[in-house]
Chain A
Amino acid sequence: MKQAQSRSLSALFQIGGLILAFGFVTIILLLVDADPIEAFRLIWQGAVGNSSRIASVLVVWVPLALVTCGVLVTFTAGLWNIGIEGQITLGAIFTTGVIRLFLDTPVSPVFVIILSILAGMVGGAIWAALAGVLKVFGGVNEIFGGLGLNFIATALNIGLIFGAWSRPGVASMSGTEPFPEIYWLPTFQNFRFSWYSILLSVIGLVVIYFLLQGTHFGLRLKAVGKGIKSAFRLGIPTWQHMMLSFLICGLFAGLAGALQVVAVYHRLIPAISSGYGFMGLMIAMLINYQAIWVAPIALFFAALNIGGIQLPIVMKLDSTLSGVLQGSLVLFILLMQGVKQRVLGKQ
């Protein structure tokens, strides 16, 4: 009885946060003289208006879901893996590198694609491990270490695109030379999404769900995250678990980066991580670190992203409005959680 009551109260606060977020964005729209109803309608239409738009949403959903899975692991261990963006980028770089190695060889493209994806995962894991080493052995807070590594990853990426891997003749912001189609992950009919990417994301979701909910390893991570001193005293090797959480997160980020290369852009582009890492952190906070919610909320965020594209075309509004909506959603729902705790605490 009591539990049901607190659960419905909790839902009430969540909905309150949702309403506040939409209210906040409405105010912003009114301030710039735009019709809020029209804007929300456009976002909705832009996301689900036709099948190719839905396909685009799925294209965004794949990396978002993967990255969110990854950061759930580091969050569980009590770590803020801000370096996730760099880990995605490194995944993309490693994948591109492997494909380039085999471009003019007779090696089977299927094998090359699989190998390149695995390489991407390793790349992400290496970058995450660096943040982990800095944290565990260097005493550098993972937030600062991660930020620094993000800058290095971006610089490395740009350096490759304009330098060693630049297009023959002219280096360009549009990225490296696209790969021949045999190295593309096959897409569904003429749509932009690939069943293979979707499948990999779903596998990722299932793995993370069971890892965090049902395994001894997941429980130990949780203990490290909630009370590192107590966990150590109970006999858990704490730094090893922190390192492992970084590595797992890096694998997921690297996979997301790899899929951006082999399934979406078919080349390395400067903004290959597309801010999905930060968005994944937001989603993880929004869902209060519960793995079961990753898939639907990532889908919602992806829809907002794709829907927002219509705004500049029709209403001459900047498409970053979706970002404002996403950000305010997270802020207001977190805010309402705080309010809820205060209210309940006072009783």
Chain B
Amino acid sequence: MNIGFKQVNKHFGEVHANADITLNIQSGHIFGILGENGAGKSTLMKILSGFIQPDTGEILLGGHEVKIESPADAIKFGIGMLHQDPLDFPPMRVIDNFIAGQSGSLMLSQKAAMKDFRELQTQFGFSLDPEAYVDTLTVGERQQLEILRLLWLGAQILILDEPTTGISIQQKEKLFAALRVLAEQGKTIIFVSHKLEDVEILCDKVAILRKGYLVGEVAPPYDIDQLVEMMFGKQITLKDPTPLGQETVVFQLQDIVVEQYPLVIENVTFSLHAGEVIGLAGMEGSGQDMLLRACVGLLRPVSGRVIVNGNDLTGKNYLKFMENGVAFLPASRLEEGLVPGLTLAEHFTLVTDQKEQLFIDKAYFRQKSQQMIDDYRIIGRPETPVESLSGGNQQRAALSMLKDDLSIILLEHPTRGLDIESAIYMWDKLKERCRNGTSIFFISADLDEILRYSDRILVFFSGHVSKPLDAATTSLEQLGQLIGGKGWDRTFSNEESYETSTKP
């Protein structure tokens, strides 16, 4: 079935997630959708699979306009979506998962389903045990189960959202083979990814999205540099003229191994100097958040050591890290950053350095928070609950609550969702601290931000961590390729390539 998008628009608040997308996808093809995080890929696919509705625009299936109002609707139209995180029921058996979602008969005919299941899976060379419990399966196997289930439900169109994250090479090959078979059968496969190499070997055609807009469509043979340029845009990179890195080592990682299903990061050794800014680049979910959390005691490393200012803090919790001058600003501001329901003044009371009396000196903290509000230009009052501040103001507030004499600040997406002025302000404040010897370790999905503010860069791809790159000699194109898994051999010639290592 051919799919058509006609001037599809979707806004989330001020974000224009899909802008006038018009796109045709032919059946019998494997169609790639490529773009960095936040480019609008997932939004477009969620619209097609009925999870969200477009603000304006039409979706055509086989030339007819359709309204897809729920995922159940989508399946009726023959559209099945395979999500990045499998939406299955881990405590149930494979076969139960397979049957769940079937509509129609009240009584489940397990025997018939079992027969169908076995037939389907031999067709693709999968070897799942129908009696096994789903929580014992690997991500790759859960994917296979989900594909079988969607096909059994009659899917003619299969959407796969970042399907190669966290699966082994063999599973990936199996998956690609299955997808090719399905395409030959006339089914439509939409392959959403940010991994250039996957797109390169699999897709018959690729559409590239950037910041909500369709940049263009490309057919093979692919020119990787062209794809990268389309994904990230060509921009001139501003450089901070004076690198601030000093010689003293304030933070060390020694042979750190971190594991969080499905990723494993192995043997990272790294030293951070006083006043230095390190950017962690990589597509979301490539392991950079795991490493960052391991650096502050929020995730316990499997092995290796974390040393802060000469003190071995391995295995200690976050509060111990705080005592040693480490602070962490997470991306989810209202879940891990600020306490919803408490006011700004209450927050400043919570983080006070003052020797505590029993009772709160409300006048004092009101005045103090007013002063911070003025200093950091937060739009709000001391009695404003933090959840009613805008994202940028929440971020300023979180920043203003950091203690003055920190040796390291770790940040996740420090400027995500902020307007440009707030973002620049944020970095001015951070750089000011760097000049006083504070080091910064930050994750960002924005490559410009990484190149502009970092002294050195660590690149992450599927749990692999690069050696530090000097930001001054790295180009946007190069970085774009690296986070897409390309060109690691060229850049890190003496390092083991991720392509040769296999993971379970």
Q: Which residues of A contact B (CB under 8 A)?
A: 210, 214-217, 219-220, 222-223, 226-227, 229-237
Contacts and interface: CB of A to CB of B under 8 A. Distances in A.
Contacts of B356: 216
A216 B357 CA distance: 8
A215 B339 contact: no
Interface stretch (B209-217, B344-352, B424-432): B344-352
B358 A222 contact: no
B349 A219 contact: yes
Nearest to A235: B322
B346 A234 contact: no
Given A227-B339, A234-B339, A234-B351, A215 B318 contact: no
Given A219-B346, A219-B350, A233 B360 contact: no
B336 A230 contact: yes
Interface stretch (B230-238, B327-335, B374-382): B327-335
B340 interface: yes
B336 to A, nearest CB: 5
Contact of A227 (B318, B341, B351, B358): B341
26 contacts: A214-B362, A215-B358, A216-B360, A219-B350, A222-B341, A222-B346, A223-B342, A223-B346, A223-B350, A226-B339, A226-B342, A227-B335, A227-B338, A227-B342, A229-B335, A229-B336, A230-B334, A230-B338, A231-B350, A232-B319, A233-B328, A233-B336, A233-B337, A234-B350, A234-B351, A235-B322
Contact of A236 (B335, B337, B350, B360): B350
B322 A219 contact: no
A237 B319 contact: yes
A226 B387 CA distance: 12
A215 B365 CA distance: 13
A215 B358 CA distance: 6
Given A219-B342, A223-B350, A230-B334, 12 more contacts: A215-B359, A216-B356, A216-B357, A216-B359, A219-B346, A219-B349, A222-B341, A227-B334, A227-B342, A232-B318, A233-B328, A233-B336
A214 B359 contact: yes
Contact of A216 (B335, B337, B349): B349
Given A223-B342, A226-B339, A233 B349 contact: no
Given A216-B360, A233-B328, A226 B341 contact: yes
B360 A219 contact: yes
Nearest to A230: B339
A296 to B, nearest CB: 25
B485 to A, nearest CB: 32
A291 to B, nearest CB: 15
Given A216-B358, A226-B342, A227-B340, A235 B351 contact: yes
B325 to A, nearest CB: 12
Nearest to A236: B350
A215 B347 CA distance: 14
Contact of B340 (A216, A226, A232): A226
A233 B330 CA distance: 9
Contacts of B350: 219-220, 223, 231, 234-236
Contacts of A216: 349, 356-360
B339 A231 contact: yes
Contacts of A222: 341-342, 346
Contacts of A210: 359
Contacts of B362: 214
Nearest to B346: A219
A226 B340 CA distance: 7
The 8 A-B residue pairs whose C-beta atoms are closest, nearest first, are A227-B339, A226-B341, A229-B336, A230-B339, A223-B339, A214-B359, A226-B339, A216-B356
Most chain A CB neighbours (cut-off 10 Å) among B339, B341, B362, B401: B339
A223 B362 CA distance: 17
A229 B338 CA distance: 9
Nearest to B296: A233
A192 B346 CA distance: 44
Contact of B401 (A215, A217, A234): A234
A72 to B, nearest CB: 16
A233 B318 contact: yes
B61 to A, nearest CB: 34
Contact of A214 (B330, B338, B341, B360): B360
A226 B337 CA distance: 12
Contacts of A229: 335-336
A219 B322 CA distance: 20
B259 to A, nearest CB: 21
B398 to A, nearest CB: 9
Contacts of B336: 229-230, 233
A231 B350 CA distance: 9
B126 to A, nearest CB: 36
A229 to B, nearest CB: 5
B289 to A, nearest CB: 14
Contacts of B335: 227, 229-230
B359 to A, nearest CB: 5
Nearest to B356: A216
Nearest to B333: A230
Contacts of B330: 233
B498 to A, nearest CB: 32
A235 B321 CA distance: 10
Contacts of A215: 358-360
A157 B420 CA distance: 67
A114 B351 CA distance: 40
A209 to B, nearest CB: 12
Contacts of B339: 223, 226-227, 230-231, 234
A266 B86 CA distance: 62
Contacts of A214: 359-360, 362
A227 B350 CA distance: 13
A146 B328 CA distance: 35
Interface in B313-327: 318-319, 322
Contact of B347 (A217, A234, A237): A234
Contacts of A227: 334-335, 338-342
A222 B359 CA distance: 15
A222 B340 CA distance: 10
B503 to A, nearest CB: 29
Contacts of B334: 227, 230
A230 B359 CA distance: 23
Contacts of B322: 235
B381 to A, nearest CB: 13
A223 B357 CA distance: 18
Contacts of B351: 234-235
A209 B335 CA distance: 28
Nearest to A229: B336
A136 to B, nearest CB: 14
Nearest to B329: A233
Nearest to A210: B359
B319 A235 contact: yes
Contacts of B349: 216, 219
Nearest to A240: B319
A328 B401 CA distance: 44
Contacts of A234: 339, 347, 350-351, 401
Nearest to A233: B336
